[in-house]
């Protein structure tokens, strides 16, 4: 998990993409993808003021049809970049 109750902050992560989806469902810790992904956009570089806060900026450009956002995915940079 990116963060959980026992994690003490964020450890050298880079979020490079944010995805948005419209599936309404209960979250499951085994999930690795959105059920109904509608868009994937670049995440802007936002400085982290401390290691216990998460700030992300992403702009959905509106190229797709209208949809309600019920799911959000965070895609990390590194060896397995999206």
Strands 57-58 and 37-44: antiparallel
Residue 2 contacts by C-beta under 8 Å, 6 or more apart in sequence? 10, 13, 74, 76
The predicted pLDDT at position 56 comes to 79
The predicted pLDDT at position 20 comes to 92
Give the residue among 49, 58, 54 at the shortest CA–CA distance from 16.
58
Only one residue has tokens 């959000």, namely 72
> From CA 22, how far away is CA 36, in angstroms rounded?
6
Range 38-74 burial, b when 16+ CB lie within 10 A, else e = bbbeebeeeeeeeeeeeeeebeeeeeeeeeeeebebe
Q: For the chain, list residues with pLDDT below 70.
A: 1-13, 45-53, 64, 78-82
The predicted pLDDT at position 82 comes to 46
């Amino acid at each position: 998990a990116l963060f959980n109750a026992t994690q003490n902050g964020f450890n050298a992560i880079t979020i490079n993409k944010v995805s948005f989806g419209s599936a309404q469902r209960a979250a499951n810790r085994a999930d690795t993808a959105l059920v109904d992904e509608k868009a994937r956009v670049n995440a802007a570089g936002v400085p982290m003021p401390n290691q216990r806060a998460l700030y992300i900026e992403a702009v959905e450009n509106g190229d797709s049809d209208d949809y309600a956002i019920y799911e959000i995915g965070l895609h990390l940079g590194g060896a397995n970049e999206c």
